[in-house]
Structures are given as structure tokens and as C-alpha cells.
Structure 1
């Protein structure tokens, strides 16, 4: 399975449609949902980063997903929040569109971490698991985007706890720790999506050999040449019949 990973301020419905010939899943966003995360996003914009800051983030999520209801790719929405209520509301919208709700426990910008989002959330497994449980209760297929190499975080144990809370997908930015994917896959029954540096057959197959169920492409996700190479690599791997017990599709 090939996914398109969210890119702040760029990953919208048009971006997803452009990648649809190559990928199976497009994770739009990220979208700041509550007052604290939106305040942090405004600070990021002030220092030159691209961010989605619609007046009504829930309406924006609904409209973006509705624009992909007839697209030949499954959609998902990567979201940031310091509080659980908007996670639950957004998960309900995602469920209505058969879309994946992806909780962002990945961003490392100081502004987001200061209000309890991103890596700060990743370091608080109990709180992150509560976010997952709320999204599951709302009926959504739930992914959690996490990052390797975060001090104090044992990612396999975190993945296990999130799976116990109901997460369907663990989306891992492996950083420079590609073998960690094997430990996460062994620790969790969730679908493991591997990210970071996926550009071609060699990089895709490395993650798949470590036990990932799929890979995602981040910054080059608007480059058809990269997407075509990775899509071909994933298809060739699946044809090899490796890990025959897994069908390569996100559950739900």
C-alpha cells in the first residue's frame, strides 16, 4: 500500500486527486482544530511556514473530504489538537466519508509542542490513547502519526498501547532509525505505515522488508516521477507474495 503523507498548507483535495493514479490513501492536512493548536499554527505562519487556517476547521474538513467522495483514492485527515473534543467531532466527520482520522503526534515545532500537540502528545501515552479511544468511539478508522528518535519515547511500547486503545494504523516517521519499523511491527497488530525518505524501489523495499504493511511519500508527493517509481516498487513487492497473511489495505 502506498499513501501520500500530509504536508502542512499543501495537502488538500486537489493534491490528493493529483496523486490518485499512484496511491491508495491520501492523508490531507494537517489541520489545527482547537484554539491552542490554531494559535500555534498562526505563530508558524508568522515565521513563514505554510498552514491551513480556515475560519471553521470542521467545515473545512467536511468540504475537503466531500470533494474526494468520488475520487479513486481513499482520503484521510491529519489533525492537531490539544483537547479531545474536536478530535471526536472530526472523527465523526471522517466516519461519514469513510475517511481515516489521523491524530498528529509527530510535529516537533516549538509552538505546537508548547500547547501540548505533536511530540508533546507522543510523550504522554495515556493522553494520546484517550484521543485514539475518542476517535474510535466516533466511528472512524484511526491512524496515529508518530516519530522515531524522540527522547523518552519507546515507540514499540507506545504502538502497543495505541493499538490497545483502538488505533488501526501506526504511521511512523522513522527518521534515521529504519530498523525500528521491525520492532513496531512486532509489537502491534495495527497496520504499520512507514515514512521518511521513500523515493524509489530501494527505499520502499527496505521498509517493507522490515515488516511495514505500506509506505508513505511526504515532500515529493507532488512529483509524479517519484510516485510512479514507488507505486511500481510497492506493486512488485506485493506480487512477490511477501507476508502473505496481510492484504496491504488499511482496515476499516
Structure 2
């Protein structure tokens, strides 16, 4: 295992509602890392986010000034006992650069979203569409890494045509420090990604209790992340205790 750096080795990553500084601060103690966002950065993803806001009231992806929003949210967590990352949506490297610089200045993680399945984002060229385009995804990751940001990539298993271990090797070469993998119903894919990637591996999907934590850590994950129940303190506490028990045993 790689040392994930944050303690406890639990991340929260909602991406299904509010995931701002206030939400992250509330998770302090049970989680060691919070991924804010995901924030739409470029014209295609912001246009997609506008459609999502109009059709489904999904406004969390669309701050008026993304760079200022990221800076303000990270500054709001400067005194909180939790590390921060920012999940961003972009179809090209350029729009990621100023946010990566903000993250680098504040020792925060810049996470590239190659994960979401919203039809609007996929049609724009982000999310799963970006996941299928290794060359373009690696270009975005390299740009963020070159700005000095610790760079994560959120990916998803069970996407037809995507060789996740092969992609993990390419992302390693591109400068990714972290892969945050949503295993879906293929938990064993975590072991395959572990074999291919030298950086920090965070496992996600269905993390709720001791059994799910131990399964992912046994496959080689360095940490786990809590998705939709990230605002539930009982779930966060169960996961924190299970992670602590695992590493105490190890």
C-alpha cells in the first residue's frame, strides 16, 4: 500500500448534491479528505451545467466564477482538520490550469472528473466521454500536474471499451498522483488497478460499513471514499472505525 497522506484514510466525495466547504468541515474527524465540487470550468461543461440547472435544479456545478469559487472554498477550510480536493469538469487542459494553480498554492488536490454519467456532461465531452479518450484525459492530467497540483482522476469501472488497468498505467505516466475509482459492481477491479498504478488508490462505491471497507482495502486500496451518504455521521464513523481497525491490524 501507498501512504495516502491524509488521516483517517477516509475521503468524502458526494458529487450528488451539496459538496462545499461547510459540508467538508462537518465531516472533519470521521474523514481525512473531502473532494469538493465537481465544478464545471469550460464553455462546454458550463453549458451542460446550465441545462442541468434548468432541468433538474443541479446548481452545485455552476458557480459564477469557478476559479474564485474554488479559492474561496479552499480558504474557508484553511483552519479545518481535513485535507481538501476539488473535483472539476473540463473537456480540455487549458481551463484546468488556473484552478490547478489555486489548488497548488493551497496544498489541495485537483481531481479531474472522468466519471460522471449525466447525459449533458457526456454529450459535452466530459465525464465518461473523457474516460473513453485516453489521450485527451492524459493531456488534462499532465496540464494539472505541470502546474504543481497534486492530481487525482475520478474514474468508473464497467464502462464498455475502457481497459481500466491500462488507463491507470497511462495516467501514472501522465503524472497522476491519485486514482479515485468507482468500482460499481466490480469490486475486484480495484486489485487490477492497484497492480497497474504506483500512486495513491482510493476505492469508492457502496462504502458503508466494516465489510465493505475491508473488501476494498484487501484488494489493495490505500483509502476508501464515501459517496451519497457522506452527510451521514453514523456512516462516516463506521467507516472511519473500520479503516482504523484495518491499519491497526496491518
- Normalised-by-shorter TM-score class: over 0.9
Matched, 1:12 2:26: no
- 1:38 corresponds to which of 46, 49, 52: 46
Gaps of 5+ in 1: 242-252
Corresponding position of 2:114: 105
Q: Quote how far apart the aligned CAs of 1:9 are.
A: 4.0
Is the 1:132–1:166 contact (alpha carbons within 8 Å) kept by the matching residues of 2? yes
Corresponding position of 1:29: 37
TM-score by length of 2: 0.95
Q: Trace 1:1-252 onto structure 2 (pairs within 5 A).
A: 1-52=9-60, 53-241=62-250
Higher mean alpha-carbon deviation, 8-17 vs 197-206, is at: 8-17
Corresponding position of 1:249: none
How many residue pairs get matched? Answer: 241
Is the 2:92–2:136 contact (alpha carbons within 8 Å) kept by the matching residues of 1? no
Corresponding position of 2:5: none
Higher relative contact order structure (alpha carbons within 8 Å, sequence separation ≥ 6) = 2
Per-residue CA distance 1:72-111 (angstroms, 9 max, x = gap): 0000000001121111111100011100000000001111
Give me the whole-angstrom Cα distance separating, in 2, the residues matched to 1:181 and 1:51: 32
Q: Where in structure 1 do 4 or more consecutive aligned residues deviate above 4 Å?
A: none
Higher mean alpha-carbon deviation, 232-241 vs 82-91, is at: 82-91
Per-residue CA distance 1:121-174 (angstroms, 9 max, x = gap): 000111101111100110000000000000100000001100111100000000
TM-score by length of 1: 0.94
RMSD (Å) for aligned C-alpha atoms: 0.9
Give me the whole-angstrom Cα distance separating, in 2, the residues matched to 1:192 and 1:49: 32
